[in-house]
Amino acid sequence: MVGKYFITACTILSISLLFAACQATDKDEKKPAGAKNKPPLKVEAFIVTPKTLAQDIEMPGSLMPAEETELHPEVSGRVTGIYFKEGSNVGQGSLLVKLYDGDLQAQLSKLRVQLKVARETLLRYEALLKINGVSQQEYELYKLSVNNIQADMSIVQTGIARTSLRAPFSGRLGLRNISIGAYITPATTISTLRKVSQLKLEFTVPEKYGADMRPGGKIQFSVNNNEQLYAARIIATENNIAQETRSLRVRALVDKAGAELIAGAFVKVKVELGQNNAALMIPSQAVIPKSRNKEVIVYRSGIANMTTVTTGTRDSSMVEITSGLKAGDTIIITGLLTTRQGSNVIISKVNKP
């Protein structure tokens, strides 16, 4: 009887184990089938279409005076006269500052007396030479002494002129840094002089636009809180590309410097480089930045294809593609983080350019 119950229990246990093994086998067989039938990703797309693109670039710049210099004396000395007012306009050659020159004036007076006497003596020697009262050599030696006195006078007069500081060009003076009686040296900055009747504009452009910055080219600019556009003309560029920023420094001359334009002001510069009637513009969000290049995902027959591209001009929402795409290509603009090379995709919506 005990043996009969033992056989029955073994039979029931075997059946239970077999049933569990079958269930496990069924689960294992269903897993691959489910993975293989994973549904395609639903994405939005954009069709690449040529369009007209105004190739304008904007960059910051600053206004600067057409001429600007710090005023320094040529020699050291005590200030005896100041002949300008702070912030005033002066003409070229106007006397601004005078230094003490009493010692030089005394030397000049002495030389003038010596020159007068020497000239009178030279006239007597000339008369004696005509009657052979003196030799030609004696006459020439005394004539040389007269010339030496004249040369010494020129040296002293030059020294006196260097004690006077005059405006090198017409312009507006800044603040005064000296007072009467001060002892100053060539290192002393007396004031600054700026030619504000004419302004220059300085800005930088990326190196790829350097060839377009030709002298004579027209540009436009605006200042903060003023929508008016002002015109300027390119006069020169730097002779090399800055290694740190890979940009070229450009300088232009403002056509009309109005009272509202102040040297040192920040401006927005706009340069027109013409039009491209076949520019390929795509949404900026479609471009995937990589460590060494940029990529977009191109849709072809339900498959995602990663394509390397080169970008150009961009605005707030679109970017120009200069290589890597052609007109009519369909690119994916959503689901970029989950889409991989070769992924199956379904386009749920096509965005028009």
Query: Hey, what are 182's tokens?
Result: 């001060």
pLDDT band at 273 (very low <50, low <70, confident <90, very high): confident
Q: Give the residue, 165 or 274, on which the prediction is more confident.
A: 165
CA distance linking residue 332 with residue 349, whole number of Å: 10
Which of 31, 54, 36, 61 has the alpha carbon at shortest distance from 247? 61
Determine phi and psi for 319, rounding to 5 degrees. Answer: -135, 145
CA atoms within a 13 Å half-sphere pointing along the CA-CB vector of 351: 14
Q: How do residues 205-243 score in pLDDT, each as one tens digit?
A: 888 788 888 899 888 998 887 778 899 999 999 988 888
Q: What does the alpha-carbon distance between residue 135 and residue 80 come to, in Å, rounded to a whole number?
A: 51
- For residue 177, the surrounding DSSP H or E stretch is none
Question: CB-based contacts of 338: which residues, under 8 Å, 6+ apart?
Answer: 41
Q: Which sign does the torsion angle of CA 302, 305, 310, 314 carry?
A: positive
What percentage of the chain's residues is helix, strand, coil (to nearest 5)?
30, 40, 30
Residue for token digits 């030279």?
Answer: 122
Domain made up of 41-53+277-351: CATH architecture: Beta Barrel (2.40)
**Quick one: what percent of the chain has pLDDT higher than 70?**
88
List every span in the chain annotated with CATH 2.40.30.170.
58-65+195-274
The residue that leads in pLDDT, 40 or 38, is 40
Nearest CA to 207 out of 232, 162, 242, 164 is that of: 242
The per-residue DSSP string of 217-264 comes to: -EEEEEETT----EEEEEEEE-SS-BTTTTEEEEEEEES---TT--TT
Q: Does CATH place domain 69-184 in 2.40.50.100?
A: yes
Q: Could you tell me which residue, 274 or 141, shows the higher pLDDT?
A: 141
Residue 37 — very low, low, confident or very high, per pLDDT cuts 50/70/90? low
| pLDDT of 30 | 44
- Would you state the pLDDT for residue 38? 66
Indicate the pTM of the whole model. Answer: 0.58
Token reading at 47: 């069709």
Portions of the chain given CATH number 2.40.420.20: 41-53+277-351
Residue 260 confidence (pLDDT) = 80
pLDDT at 179: 95
Looking at the predicted structure, is the pLDDT value of residue 259 above 50? yes
Residue 314 has pLDDT above 90, yes or no: no
Tokens of 268: 């927005």
Backbone dihedral angles phi then psi of residue 130, each to the nearest 5 degrees: -65, -30
Phi–psi pair at 88, nearest 5 degrees:
-90, 160
Phi and psi at 137, nearest 5°, equal -65, -40
> Range(s) for CATH 2.40.50.100 in the chain?
69-184
* Nearest-angstrom CA–CA distance, 353 and 349: 13
pLDDT mean over 28-52:
70
Domain 58-65+195-274 annotated CATH 1.20.120.80: no
Residue 178 has pLDDT above 50, yes or no: yes
Pair type for strands 41-47 and 345-351:
parallel
